[in-house]
Structure 1
Amino acid sequence: MFKRAQNKFYSTSANLLKTPLHEAHVEFGGKMVPYAGFEMPVLYKDQSHIESHNWVRSKAGLFDVSHMLQHTIQGPQARALLEKITPIDLGSLGVNQLSLSVLLNNEGGVIDDCIITKHGDNDYYMVTNAGCREKDVKFIKDELTAFDVNHSTFEGTLLAVQGPQAAELLQKFTTEDLSKVYFGESRYLDLKTGGATTRIHLARSGYTGEDGFELSIPSGTPAEQAEALSFFKVLINEYPDIAKPIGLAARDSLRLEAGMCLYGHELTEEITPIQASLAWLIPKSRRADGGFNGSSKILGQLADKSSVTHRRIGVKSKGPSPRDGNKIFNAEGKEIGYITSGSPSPTLGGNVAQAYIDKSAKIGSGIKIEIRGKLRDGEVAKLPFVPSKFYKG
């Protein structure tokens, strides 16, 4: 059985970075915590974790994800670079379409997960995780030395608007018909931000399983930052029945219910996409020609199913919530896996978790989870726990 690497996301540095929306988090009563080198809101006053979570499921939640790292990758060999460091097929992706993918090391392990948007054959936009910032940048710079590519990273406001009323809310600020922007698509559009009109990048995407958007808003100058801040405040102050700021606590429980991976937990450099039950990230065309980092190992795992003994799967339980690292045993007392992340489920009640478990354990089978020195009852469950509600027209 492979072992996951220990990966700490919470910074101990006293010199925490602040996003362009930091002032608003403090104004709205955000409980600020260190996260991936940034000071980020985990909750807001007068709203519990459960209330925040349920608000996103029923209204529109605003998530500041400006700590994520944004990249532009351009040039005549931009596609060749991206198709070496990830298993994506950019030829099958249309202009202004986006896809989840993974940065791969030479052993097929996941360096980070990412979202790649195609703006043209030689022009791509990518978002990677804040917690992997230094590692990702070094990895990409090392790889691009063999390619004719211009790579740059940039800071800005990255705002996720998630929930069933996300489109209704944002439509008030643009003349672009958002009903014609489907899940997995993007647009450059004009957004009314405070007293100005700002050109932004909008993607219909997110990390909650709900319909929603991610907005990349320029914040390179004081004036641009002021407009982004004003827009964020207007959403909350003028539409309080629709929009609320939501912190890290609900973001994690939402993604967990949606069966989405968190780097350092479900994904590490020791785990391949096949082991992570992400075989769908390797399209048929890439399985035929390979050519991406770690392709021999990954394609070998696809060809020989017995070479992968454990899979990422769901777990349900009652009582104390399973947490990262808790051991899992079968009915006979044999250790068969471990929890990668877990949380009480506001939507379903009880607890939900993701885990790596021996493939012999079938969905619905009973297990024991070691929590605080005691074995607790659990059950292997299908992912996602809550069906996704992506807008596909």
Structure 2
Amino acid sequence: MPVSDTDDLPTQTLPLDGWHRARGARMVPFAGYHMPIQYEGIMAEHLWTRENAGLFDVSHMGQLLISGPDAAGELEKLLPGDIKGLGEGKVRYSLLLNESGGILDDLMVTNLGGGTYYMVVNGATKWDDIAHLREHLPDEIVLNHLEDQALLAVQGPRAADAVTRLFPQAGSLFFMEGTGLVWEGVKLGIGRSGYTGEDGFEISVPASHVDKLAALLTEQPEVKPIGLGARDSLRLEAGLPLYGHDLDEETTPVMADLGFALSKRRREERSFPGAAHILMEREQGPITKRVGLLVEGRQPVREGAVVVDADGSEVGKVTSGGFSPSLERPIAMAYVPLAAAQPGTRVRLNQRAKIFDAEVTAMPFVPHRYHRKGAK
């Protein structure tokens, strides 16, 4: 499980810190916070989530409200997504880009209506993201960091059974849609999205009420608390990148195989940061590209292992790797030369002077099961 060491500040505690410890969680530092890495064990928690529903505490993430005159247009100066065309109650995955098209962070934006947008950014980068947004957004755009909000995710094929039993309004949502409601006298924000490849919900709740909500959710027979370890193996199986590992400032959306985040209108307007470079890569192909790997044998290949050519020279790098509980075999993500990025291509990996054989494969490794509109 990758553990962040990017934050030099003292390790902080989550609102649910005591709740986690009371349930036997093993806590580790991650993104500047003490966070639960596991309760019963990573393998068991992973498989429970794939078959039932898991509760994840993701309160380390940055929750922001952005509003003001033409907030959508101002955000489009920093993101490649179509924010102006994002309907009320709709959610969009996007990227915060630097001037050369490198990825500063990946994030989610929800249109709350009335010119207000809710943004969730990664915990390890949130302070840099906030500084970047405040530097580049005009003074009339208001950015509020919701430091008193916690964030819970309920993920898995039975997540909807548990969540809609408590909040029937959530049942009308499809993937990448959100709504607000009042519970116990406080406002909740619920979005149907997540980071596991499964159907699920993310619930923004005041920190003052998160203990009660977490207890209520885990009282549902489908739901168990799940730690960071299983969150990492679930997102790896789903082919989802982790910022600071699979994505960084030197990586463009095309290299990262995130071209879907480049909205059509924005591509045509060529008006987002680094557009000229990104669109050239899109037309001609990047030098390297993020791919999935099926690794032979039983031993996982971890982040930092190198992809080597026939002469043993380094040509790429593994950015995430581990054992897939669902597939019962090692899998990984790596950046490889474009010529080696086609599924079926055989590659070799060098980890601590040991050579592993692997095959490039399409991602996700495990099919996504999002609750999409029109899907049967």
Q: What TM-score bracket applies, with the shorter chain setting the length?
A: over 0.9
Per the alignment, residue 222 of structure 1 pairs with: none
Tell me the equivalent position of 1:9. Answer: 4
Provide closer, same or farther for how the CA distance between residues 303 and 360 of structure 1 changes in structure 2, counting only shifts above 3 A.
closer
Equivalent in the alignment of 1:216 = 204
Q: CA contact under 8 A between 1:366 and 1:378: conserved in structure 2?
A: yes
Return the alpha-carbon distance in structure 2 between the equivalents of residues 292 and 131 of structure 1: 24
SS of the aligned residue for 1:360 comes to helix
Q: Match of 2:141?
A: 149
Structure 1 residue runs without a partner (length 5+) = 1-6, 220-224
1:148 Cα shift?
Answer: 2.5
Change in Cα spacing, 1:380 to 1:296, as seen in structure 2 (3 Å) is same
* Partners of 1:61 and 1:358 in 2: CA distance: 37
- Out of 331, 337, 347, the position equivalent to 1:358 is 337
Matched, 1:172 2:165: yes
Q: Using the alignment, how far apart are the partners of 1:80 and 1:310 within structure 2?
A: 32
CA distance in 2, matches of 1:375, 1:96: 49
Q: Select 1:43's aligned residue among 14, 19, 38.
A: 38
Q: For 1:147 and 1:283, how far apart are their aligned partners in 2?
A: 27
CA–CA distance in 2 between the matches of 1:391 and 1:8?
31
**Residue 336 (structure 1) shift:** 2.6
Residue 257 of structure 2 aligns with which residue? 277
Deviation per CA, 1:204-245, whole angstroms, max 9, x where unpaired? 0000000000000022xxxxx1x3202212322x33x31110
RMSD between aligned alpha carbons? 1.7
- Residues 303, 342 of structure 1: CA spacing in aligned structure 2 closer, same or farther, 3 A cutoff? same
**Contact 1:61 1:163 (8 Å CA) reproduced:** yes
Count of residue pairs brought into register by the alignment: 369
- Mapped to 2, the partners of 1:338 and 1:11 lie a distance apart of 20
Q: Name the CA distance, whole Å, in 2 between partners of 1:190 and 1:167.
A: 19
Q: What's the CA shift string for 1:67-123, capped at 9, x where partnerless?
A: 000000000131122101100112321101011100000010000000001122621
CA deviation digits over 1:238-272, x for unaligned, max 9? 33x31110000000000000000100111100011
1:245-264 pair list within 5 angstroms: 245-264=225-244
Match of 1:3 in 2: none
Inter-partner Cα distance in structure 1 for 2:232 and 2:372? 24
Aligned to 1:125: 118
Q: Is the 8 A contact 1:320 1:371 kept in 2?
A: no
SS in 1 for 2:339: coil
Q: 1:243 aligns with which of 200, 223, 227?
A: 223
Moved more, 347-356 or 331-340: 331-340
Fraction of identical pairs, as percent: 38
Residue 8 and residue 138 in structure 1: after superposition, are their counterparts in 2 closer, same or farther (change >3 A)? Answer: farther
CA contact 2:9–2:32 (8 Å) conserved in 1? no
Conserved? CA contact 1:105–1:111, under 8 Å: yes
TM-score, normalised via structure 1 length: 0.90
Q: For 1:336, which of 291, 315, 330 is the aligned residue?
A: 315
Point out where structure 2 has 5 or more consecutive residues left out of the alignment: none
Aligned to 2:357: 377
- Which residue among 68, 77, 91 is the counterpart of 2:70? 77
